[in-house]
Structure 1
């Protein structure tokens, strides 16, 4: 959801009220729809070059999305738009994060010695 310039959720709730903010959230366009709606006017899916262009535009954006589940969904949605329904072909187009070299931070464990009295 895009907020007006200079506003954050807290200031907007204070100005408009909780109900108005919740209504904004209900009417907000999902990320997947926004992503593809903004890219589709730039490409012609009826041509191989247009489909390749969509892939070139969408893949870097999809790879930056936090949350593996949403990234997988967006990748599948891209595959549907490109006409790639086979998972193995889709996997070659955009490998999963573990295979693409994208590293996720691993939580560090800290050992603490305890004395029991």
Structure 2
């Protein structure tokens, strides 16, 4: 996607396990949580979206970011988030949620459904 247009946008996230439909889906093997992080347009859609998923790896939980090519702009637009994440050895889902809220992201988890 190209640069933002004149529509109002808001950064936020959807936490998979808080979605209304969560009980009806089957998550990928060893995945324990997923955050869809978006720059959401006020009227509909989003400028970009990327995911941070958490997986059980042995006895530990490990986070993995998935950024599609049309969302590489997130490295610039979400610079503070990536800077903070670069300073931690590991992060839990609850810690990520607290960090997102601290940085001013809105929790959209209860608003609508997100496709995996």
TM-score w.r.t. structure 2 length? 0.24
Of structures 1 and 2, the larger Rg is shown by 1
Which of the pair is proportionally richer in strand?
2
Larger RCO of the pair (alpha carbons < 8 Å, separation 6+): 2
**Higher helix residue share:** 1
